[in-house]
Every structure is written in structure tokens, then in C-alpha cells.
Structure 1
Amino acid sequence: MDAKVWLILAAVVAAGLAIAAAVLLVRVLSARRMLRDAGIPLRDKALFWVAVLYTVSPVDLIPDPVYLDDIGVLLLALRSLRAAAATAVSARPGDGTGR
């Protein structure tokens, strides 16, 4: 394959990774309503904001054409926040619905 094909392939992969990171960032931002819940530990709330700041910051572990580090940080934040929310809801007294 010549250089032009590799360049096009790299651009498509980079665009796909950028879209995946953007989708995850939107999902993390939509999950921010969970931050108002008093039952969620401060560590998980802080991880949320660290993930958002890391994703939008120009400093990365892996250079920006490859968004794997951003995707990993966002997935970790989502997983941690959802697990903390599930624990907080199950720990609430009442009917178990969390309301």
C-alpha cells in the first residue's frame, strides 16, 4: 500500500476514536446529575471532574491523534460513578427505588 492509503486509514481511525471519546464525554456529562446525590463518595465525584478535565486538556499520556487514553479515563469515570450511584441507591432506606 502506498502512503496515501495509510494516511487515509489513519485519519479514519483517528476520527473514529475522536467520535468515541466525544460520545463518552457526553455520557459522562449527562451523568453529572448523580453528583448531587449525597450518598456518592467525594472520591467518585472528584474522579468525574478529573476525567472531564483530562479529556479537554491539551496534556495527554498518548498524543492526541490517538484518543485511547481519553476513552479509558472516561470509561473509568463512568464505571466508578455508576457503581457508586448503585451502591448509594441500594443503601437508602425505604422501598428500594431510591426515591
Structure 2
Amino acid sequence: MENWLLIAVIVSSLAVVVMLVVVVVLILRLRASFKLLSSEDVPFQNKFAFWASIVYTICPVDLLPDPIYLDDIGILAASLHSLNKAAQRAGITAK
């Protein structure tokens, strides 16, 4: 019984560490992407998707319960990817 508890603690700790790493990467990508939001060359729908994902991340209503942030992280990552791809097509890079 104690082995299962130890395994559960280790797996949970690893999941938390992985989630924190993903959050740090997303924060850095968010910071770099703010330049793209002021560009007129990036289409409005990509900017709207970005801001909608921010609202979804903050909103208390989620697809998955709040201790599990996979849906928030996934939606935010997808909108950042879309914003960056639109900027690349327009010839802009986020730095």
C-alpha cells in the first residue's frame, strides 16, 4: 500500500513540474507575442482568437475541472501558434 502512495506522489510531482515548465514557456511566448497584437499586418481573427483564449484561461468555467489546466494550456498554445503563423505569413517575427 505504501508503494502505491509513493508512486502516486512521484507521478503527481512529475505532472506538476511538467505543467510548470509548460506554463513558463507559454508566458515567455506570450511576452514575445504582444508585439504581434499591435501590428496591422496580422489578421483580426488571429488577434481575436488570442484574446478569446486569454479570457477562456481566466474564466472560471472550463471544459475540464480547474485543477487540470490541460484545456487552458492547449487553447492558449493553439492561439499563440495561430498568431505566430499569421505573423510569419505577413513577414513579421516575434522577438
Query: TM-score, length-normalised on structure 1?
Result: 0.72
d(CA) in 1 for partners of 2:20, 2:56: 14
Question: 2:31 matched to 1:29?
Answer: yes
Moved more, 32-41 or 47-56: 47-56
In 2 relative to 1, CA 56–23 (structure 1 residues): closer, same or farther, beyond 3 Å?
farther
Give the alignment's Cα RMSD to 1 decimal.
2.1
- Residues paired across the two proteins, number: 90
CA deviation after TM superposition for structure 1 residue 88, in Å: 1.3
In the alignment, which residue of structure 1 is the partner of 2:47? 45
In 2 relative to 1, CA 18–55 (structure 1 residues): closer, same or farther, beyond 3 Å?
farther
Counterpart among 4, 18, 41 of residue 16 in structure 1: 18
For structure 1, the residue ranges without an aligned partner over 5 or more in a row are 91-99
CA deviation after TM superposition for structure 1 residue 41, in Å: 0.9
SS at match of 1:2: helix
SS at match of 1:25: helix
Q: Answer with 1 or 2: which has the greater Rg.
A: 1
CA deviation after TM superposition for structure 1 residue 25, in Å: 3.4
Counterpart code for 1:21: V
d(CA) in 2 for partners of 1:13, 1:44: 30
Counterpart code for 1:50: A
d(CA) in 1 for partners of 2:68, 2:24: 13
Question: 2:61 matched to 1:59?
Answer: yes
Query: TM-score, length-normalised on structure 2?
Result: 0.74
